[in-house]
């Protein structure tokens, strides 16, 4: 276990990345999966034979997911639509594999010149093709995902390659899971305008989950964006302008505590697992709440919830994430195993 952790720390300290700002392919960190959304935006430590979570953590891929089909759709803000389609299958030579397609459709935009003359309309879309695999090495499940990324805005295009690398350890009683993931290590092959290549939206995460033996409760704690420890918080001008230093006339800067810095990296989520038939899910993302909550309005920003329901051969999931006081995103997922449709002889 020690050697695995050291490898992840080494990789995270030798590669540069940024959160927010100018970065291509930010959609790679936007998961349309309903379960991930309900759990606060990350479910890397949820290890229970759900192929739809492989997009978040490739080390969750196992041979037991053979023939699982995952369909996911998110009705995002401003009528933006995102989705992910994935299929897991076993091979004799390469072990378990999963092939997936992730996309985001930004809709149609008016095209005008400098004189405001209407020239028609144009579209903007992002796509990524995923191929994931995993291996068991000394009780660890090691996984990796390769991604080919294509983005188009009007007539401007960009292509790139990215990879996820992950490792998961599951206790012998299957009640505890420890995992580490590096998402979106990448290189922009071609840029929109031929200018300097931008950094990818890399995300180093470590997670732990605990399922209680005779209790439906499972709790997970996930630390995200660890490649930027202590660097997620910034001065919010909206809040600062409410407090003015009378001697200088300048806004008083917000004083961040150690607890603020710690919490900005944490996602806390829980599931109430009432067997395979029904589950309730809740999540809290502290950074999302800090960035999106309004100072003068009550909101559920940073909180999320959802449920899972199995009906015959299908597992349905719904997830809702609150971004500000009057709006939340809706996520829908369907998972089924195609082997169950084979006629029994």
Q: Give 22's pLDDT tier (boundaries 50, 70, 90).
A: low
Residue 195 burial (C-beta neighbours within 10 Å; 0-12, 13-18, 19+): exposed
Task: Copy the structure tokens of residue 9.
Answer: 């720390």
Report the SS3 class of residue 94. coil
Pick from 86-90, 191-195, 203-207, 215-219: least confident: 191-195
Task: Copy the structure tokens of residue 89.
Answer: 């299958």
Each residue of 158-185: pLDDT tens digit? 999 999 999 999 999 989 999 999 999 9
Mean pLDDT across 283-302: 84
Mean of pLDDT over the chain: 87
Kindly list the domain boundaries of the chain, sorted by start residue. Answer: 2-112+119-229+265-341
DSSP E strands, the chain: 68-75, 81-91, 95-112, 118-137, 140-153, 156-170, 176-190, 203-211, 217-223, 266-274, 278-285, 303-311, 314-324, 327-337
Phi, psi dihedrals of residue 323, rounded to the nearest 5°: -110, -40
Q: What is the pTM of this model?
A: 0.86
Distance CA(272)–CA(151), nearest Å, equals 38
Distance CA(274)–CA(95), nearest Å, equals 31
Buried b (16+ CB within 10 A) or exposed e, 1-12: eeebeeebeebb
Task: Copy the structure tokens of residue 343.
Answer: 């006629």
Cβ neighbour number for residue 179 with a 10 Å cutoff? 26
CATH of domain 2-112+119-229+265-341: 2.40.160.40
Q: Give 20's pLDDT tier (boundaries 50, 70, 90).
A: very low
Each residue of 207-227: pLDDT tens digit? 999 999 889 999 999 999 999
């Amino acid at each position: 276990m020690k050697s695995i952790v050291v490898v992840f720390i080494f990789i995270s300290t030798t590669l540069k990345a940024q959160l927010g700002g100018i970065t291509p392919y930010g959609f790679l960190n936007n998961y349309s999966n309903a379960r991930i959304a309900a759990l606060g935006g990350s479910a890397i430590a949820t290890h229970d034979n759900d192929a739809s979570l492989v997009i978040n953590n490739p080390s969750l891929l196992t041979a037991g997911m053979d023939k699982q089909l995952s369909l996911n759709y998110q009705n995002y803000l401003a009528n933006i639509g995102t989705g992910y389609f994935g299929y897991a299958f076993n091979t004799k030579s390469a072990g378990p594999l999963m092939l997936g397609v992730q996309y985001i459709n930004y809709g149609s935009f008016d095209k005008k010149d400098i004189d405001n003359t209407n020239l028609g309309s144009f579209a903007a879309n992002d796509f990524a093709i995923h191929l994931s695999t995993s291996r068991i090495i000394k009780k660890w499940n090691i996984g990796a995902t390769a991604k080919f990324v294509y983005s188009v805005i009007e007539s401007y295009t960009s292509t790139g390659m990215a990879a996820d690398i992950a490792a998961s350890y599951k206790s012998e009683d299957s009640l505890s899971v420890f995992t580490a993931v590096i998402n979106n290590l990448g290189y922009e092959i071609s840029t929109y305008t031929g200018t300097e290549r931008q950094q990818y939206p890399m995300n180093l995460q470590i997670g732990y989950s605990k399922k209680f033996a005779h209790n439906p409760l499972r709790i997970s704690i996930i630390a995200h964006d660890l490649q930027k420890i202590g660097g997620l918080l910034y001065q919010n001008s909206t809040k600062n302008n409410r407090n003015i230093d009378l001697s200088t006339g300048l806004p008083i800067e917000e004083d961040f505590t150690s607890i603020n810095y710690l919490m900005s990296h944490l996602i806390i989520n829980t599931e109430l697992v009432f067997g395979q038939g029904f589950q309730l899910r809740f999540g809290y993302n502290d950074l999302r709440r800090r960035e999106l909550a309004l100072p003068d309005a009550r909101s559920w920003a940073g909180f999320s919830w959802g449920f899972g329901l199995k009906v015959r051969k299908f597992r349905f999931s719904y997830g809702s994430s609150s971004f500000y006081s009057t709006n939340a995103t809706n996520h829908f997922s369907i998972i089924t195993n195609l082997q169950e449709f084979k006629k029994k002889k």
